[in-house]
Amino acid sequence: MASRFSTYSGAPSIQPSLAPTFDTSSNRSSTRGSLQTILASKIMSEKGQSPYADSDLAEIARSSSTLASSDPKSHDLRSWSGSLERMQDERLQQQRYVMSGSKSEEIRANALGAKVERALARRMTGQDAQFTAKKSPMDEKRALEVEAN
């Protein structure tokens, strides 16, 4: 009895599925290549370089359109990539305010102070301690003398 993979998870299932069964042993080399591509692009993006030329991006867009349009995962990926592209607006990037190091440290300190004040306020609610002025040691000594006499 061959087990099939579920449509939405990688867990094997005994139940029959409409999802196609893939032979994972033949795809190992392509997976390794795609993993290398992902790692290389991550390293290049950390250095501030673009891992793809404009022609490569167009080729990737064409190849992604050849995927099965009925696949819900590819539809989700396309909608997410479209949303991310719309969010990347160069005019808005130029208008974005970037705080200096000292300003961000000042805001962090203020935020920490506010957190501490809120925590203390929560802990002090319902407390009925009454603070009185501290008696001087001389007054206590006189009180003892009076009681002794």
Q: Along the 149 residues of the chain, how does pLDDT read in single tens digits?
A: 455 554 555 555 565 555 555 555 444 444 455 556 666 665 555 555 555 555 565 666 666 555 556 788 888 888 888 888 888 888 888 888 888 999 999 999 999 999 999 998 888 777 766 667 776 777 777 777 766 65
- Residue 82 in any domain: the answer is no
55 within domain boundaries = yes
Alpha-carbon span 63 to 59, nearest angstrom: 6
Residue 52 included in any domain: yes
- Spatial neighbors of 50 by CB under 8 A, at least 6 apart, are 44
Range of the domain at 46: 29-64
User: Does the residue 146 lie in any domain?
Assistant: no
Q: What is the pLDDT of residue 141?
A: 73
- Structural domain contains residue 36: yes
* Counts of helices then strands in the chain (DSSP H, E): 6, 2
Residue 56 lies in a domain: yes
CA–CA gap between residue 56 and residue 126 (Å, rounded)? 65
Helix (H, G, I), strand (E, B) or coil at 34: helix
Cβ–Cβ < 8 Å for 68, 74: yes
Return all residues near 67 (Cβ < 8 A) that are at least 6 apart: 74
Q: How many domains does the chain have?
A: 1
| pLDDT at site 27 | 46
In a domain, 124, yes or no: no
Query: Does the residue 21 lie in any domain?
Result: no
Cα-flanking dihedrals φ and ψ of residue 47, to 5°? -85, -5
User: H helices of 52-100, where?
Assistant: 54-65, 72-87, 90-95
Whether the predicted model's global pTM rises above the 0.85 cut = no
